[in-house]
């Protein structure tokens, strides 16, 4: 039985992952699995840099604009659906492509998740209610109290996670719902995958990366981002819309900032996001990193050395 390979393209936003993924998919005659956690939503097209119609027509893509912002959709849901889709695609071709800048979603497919018990719905409701009343400080204090070791680990290794309400609510609900520290459940179960990952990272000098981000934001504005965000104002509190490029323009439409200031905030927050992406992806084991201008033939040759 021939080995199966999942070529996975990682890197910060605006680095050129989409164009490389299409070139590789055309070379290997395969499909593309997208794992950008905001490109799933059909109401968010411009601000999430969804591939254009020509790009989407050139290669079959999966998990792009396949959900609504009103749907409840988790990284666990994505893992199940992506693995099922890959099983189907590998029947046609032993090489497939995955691309995206959402590190947790990439990891969910490559490595899977630890096995956590089901949590009672009333526990979730109580934690959500308390969060609405007391904010992120409540979740941080609860985790510190219920799983001190894990709280300290996050403080050192991944402090931005302590500011992420969805992740923090999950940690606390596991602690309360099971009566055990969240960290007790980490590393207990190893997920088996029927493919070998080939991980390609794209990077650039920081100033180049930041300049590409600034240019992309200007392009989004010119393509109609303001109208897209304006149409979403009635739903601005939905979780999917707590996203760079949308939050800043909601403030503009509410009269809290000028348009010029909002656009500069989008650029700055996107640059910060790209920095966090790089920090996450640089920890990826066995990734092969290339400058974003590297000739595609060189990347193809590197992949074929592994496959053949």
pLDDT band at 187 (very low <50, low <70, confident <90, very high): confident
CA 162 to chain centre: 17
Tell me if 281 sits within 8 A of 287, measured CB to CB: yes
User: Is this prediction's pTM over 0.85?
Assistant: no
Question: Which CATH code fits 121-185?
Answer: 1.10.20
> Given pLDDT bands bounded at 50, 70 and 90, which one contains residue 1?
low
**236 marked as part of a ligand binding site:** no
**Cα–Cα distance between 298 and 17 in angstroms, integer?**
16
Locate CATH 1.10.20 in the chain: 121-185
Q: What is the DSSP letter of 192?
A: P
> Which residues make Cβ contacts (< 8 Å) with residue 179, sequence separation at least 6?
none
Give the helix/strand (H/E) hosting 292.
none
Is 12 annotated for ligand binding? yes
Helices 259-281 + 103-110 axis angle, to 10? 30
- Let me know: does 147 contact 154? Beta carbons within 8 Å: no
Q: 267 in helix, strand or coil?
A: helix
Q: d(Cα 50, Cα 172) in Å, to the nearest integer?
A: 34
Between CA 300 and CA 305 the distance in angstroms is: 9
Phi-psi domain of 96 (left: phi exceeds 0; alpha: psi -120 through 50; beta: other): beta
Q: Does domain 5-113+191-307 have CATH number 1.20.140.10?
A: no
| 59-87 per-position pLDDT tens digit | 999 999 999 999 988 888 999 999 999 99
Residues of the chain with CATH 3.40.50.300: 5-113+191-307
The pLDDT > 70 percentage for the chain reads 99
| Residue 134 to residues 59, 137, 265, Cα–Cα distance (Å) | 47, 7, 27
- Residue 157's pLDDT band, with cuts at 50, 70 and 90, is confident
The pLDDT value recorded for residue 188 is: 66
Does residue 113 surpass a pLDDT of 80? no
CA gap 230, 135 in Å, rounded: 27
Q: Is there a binding annotation on residue 17?
A: yes
Answer yes or no: is pLDDT of 190 > 70: no
Determine if residue 18 is labeled as part of a ligand binding site: yes
Q: What is the mean pLDDT of residues 157-169?
A: 87
Q: Does 126 belong to an annotated binding site?
A: no
| Structure tokens, 160 | 């931005």
Retrieve residue 270's tokens. 């996107």
Residue 8, marked binder: no
Convert the pLDDT of each residue in 207-250 to its tens digit: 999 999 999 999 999 999 999 999 999 999 998 898 999 999 99
What pLDDT does residue 301 have?
96
């Amino acid at each position: 039985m021939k080995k199966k390979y999942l070529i996975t393209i990682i890197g910060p936003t605006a680095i050129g992952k989409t164009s490389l993924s299409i070139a590789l998919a055309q070379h290997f005659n395969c499909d593309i699995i997208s794992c950008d956690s905001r490109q799933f939503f059909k109401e968010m097209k411009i601000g999430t840099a969804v591939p254009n119609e020509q790009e989407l027509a050139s290669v079959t893509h999966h998990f792009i604009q396949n959900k609504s912002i009103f749907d409840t959709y988790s990284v666990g849901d994505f893992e199940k659906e992506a693995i099922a889709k890959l099983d189907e695609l590998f029947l046609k071709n032993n090489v497939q492509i995955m691309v995206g800048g959402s590190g947790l979603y990439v990891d969910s497919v490559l490595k899977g998740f630890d096995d956590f018990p089901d949590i009672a719905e009333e526990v979730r409701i109580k934690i959500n209610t308390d969060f609405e009343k007391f904010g992120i400080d409540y979740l941080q204090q609860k985790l510190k109290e219920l799983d001190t070791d894990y709280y300290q680990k996050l403080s050192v290794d991944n402090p931005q996670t302590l500011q992420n309400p969805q992740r923090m609510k999950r940690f606390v609900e596991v602690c309360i719902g099971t009566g055990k520290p969240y960290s007790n459940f980490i590393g207990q179960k190893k997920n088996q995958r029927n493919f070998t990952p080939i991980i390609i990272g794209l990077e650039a000098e920081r100033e180049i990366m930041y300049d590409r981000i600034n240019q992309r934001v200007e392009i989004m504005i010119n393509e109609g981002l303001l109208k897209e965000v304006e149409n979403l104002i009635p739903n601005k509190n939905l979780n999917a819309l707590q996203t760079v490029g949308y939050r800043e323009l909601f403030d503009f439409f509410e009269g809290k900032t000028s348009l010029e200031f909002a656009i500069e905030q989008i650029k700055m927050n996107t640059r910060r996001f790209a920095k966090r992406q790089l920090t996450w992806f640089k920890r990826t084991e066995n990734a092969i990193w290339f400058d974003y201008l590297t000739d595609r033939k060189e990347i193809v040759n590197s992949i074929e050395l592994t496959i053949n």
